[in-house]
Amino acid sequence: MTTTVQPPAMPEPIEAPLTDERIVPALIDGQSVYLPCPAWCSIDHVRDNQKFLEDVWHSGPFSDLEVPRRDNTPGLMAYARIGMDPFSRDERMRRPFIFVEDGNSSEGSYMDAEHAETFADNLVAFAEKIRSMGRALKAVTA
Ligand SMILES: [Zn+2]
């Protein structure tokens, strides 16, 4: 029996400038309101129904890093998204940031653009090491 593992679907690229926004409907404690929302935000603010306006947050689509396993059930190692917390007391959270988390802990990493470049370089170097390990393993197990 042959099992084919499909790579995860690539998230849609964010094409609109991060500064573009629109006015969207939202529910705040069950009350209908309209609020500005970045064009890249994929949250349905009606379904999200936050208790307080200050809890409204914006998020772009999630990009997942999955790890294949021997039993063909890929595991989520990490995900990343663009986010913004418009009512945060922290000025850095009120503008777009990149958030990376492993999905298992309550803490993640907030990154600005320069951090994302460094992180991407680290991922490429990591991927090259994994590929090299795989080739070495293949040479032994072939
Ligand atoms: Zn939004």
At residue 3 the predicted structure's pLDDT band, cuts being 50, 70 and 90, is very low
> Which pair of structure tokens corresponds to residue 79?
């995900």
Per-residue pLDDT, averaged over 77-101, amounts to 95
Determine which of 10-24, 28-42, 77-91 has the lowest per-residue pLDDT on average. 10-24
Distance in Å, CA 43 to ligand 1 centroid: 5
Q: In this structure, which residues have their CB less than 5 angstroms from ion ligand 1?
A: 37, 41, 43, 58
Instruction: Classify the phi-psi angles of 13: left when phi > 0, otherwise alpha if psi is within -120 to 50, otherwise beta.
Output: beta
Per-residue pLDDT, averaged over 134-139, amounts to 93
Chain centroid to CA 115 = 15
Beta strands 109-111 and 58-59: pairing type? unpaired
On average, the pLDDT of the chain sits at: 89
pLDDT value at residue 103: 75
Is the pLDDT assigned to residue 48 strictly greater than 50?
yes
